[in-house]
Amino acid sequence: MRMRRTLLLTAAAVMLAGCGDRRLVLKVDVLSFMDPASRQADFGPIPTFPGGLWTGEIPLIDDQHVSMLQGLNDAADIQSVTLSFGALVIDFDGSGQDTVRIYMSDEQTAPRTTAPVLALGMTLSPGQTDTLRAVLGDDPRVASLFASKQMRVSVTTAVRGPLLGNSLSGRFKLTGIDGVVIAKSKGY
């Protein structure tokens, strides 16, 4: 593992030295660092309820520690980070609403004690599969996390059941959390 990091840092340094503007672009598949079993969850049946029955925030990925490229901050300054998020919500039956939140924090802070970096709302319809996609660019909080050696991630869902009709049931499945990091060689 140590040899792999050394080779990666050496390759990054060579690429930075050989680039005209000395920039390095890295794609970090954050989701691949997380337990595959935590990437999806079934919900329901959530019964009909006047005003809609709210399940509360349910963690899908609960406080996962993610090791980043160790030493990248020593070789380069993070210029920007663009975060992309993708998920599928499959509504088996009933209608309702959902709010998906992504929390990211530094190594010393529990993610859900901070404000979410992304919050996505959606309406669920019986028998439909919805694709969620969102992009977050140039958030200084996120950029500082990608410059560190570790970060922590939580993803929650908050399903609200139907006012009328059948009980709501379905499945939530994360399909991606990707960061595109643009860094510049230190000293230039």
Residue 142 has pLDDT above 50, yes or no: yes
Mean of all residue pLDDT scores within the chain: 81
What contacts 24+ positions apart, CB below 8 Å, involve 116-123?
117/83, 117/141, 117/142, 118/83, 118/85, 120/85, 121/97, 122/89, 122/97, 122/98, 123/95, 123/96, 123/97
Tokens of 25: 């672009």
Say whether pLDDT at 8 is over 50.
no
- What is the rounded CA–CA span in Å between residue 125 and residue 97? 9
Nearest to 89 by CA among 102, 79, 80, 99: 99
Q: What is the pTM of this model?
A: 0.77
Which tokens belong to 129? 């599969």
Q: What is the mean pLDDT of residues 18-43?
A: 79
Whether residue 131 is predicted with pLDDT greater than 60 in this model: the reply is yes
Q: What is the pLDDT of residue 7?
A: 37
* pLDDT tens by residue, 48-69: 877 666 667 888 888 888 877 6
Query: What residues does 87 pair with on adjacent strands?
Result: 132, 174
Of 169, 97, 162, 175, which Cα lies nearest the Cα of 132?
175
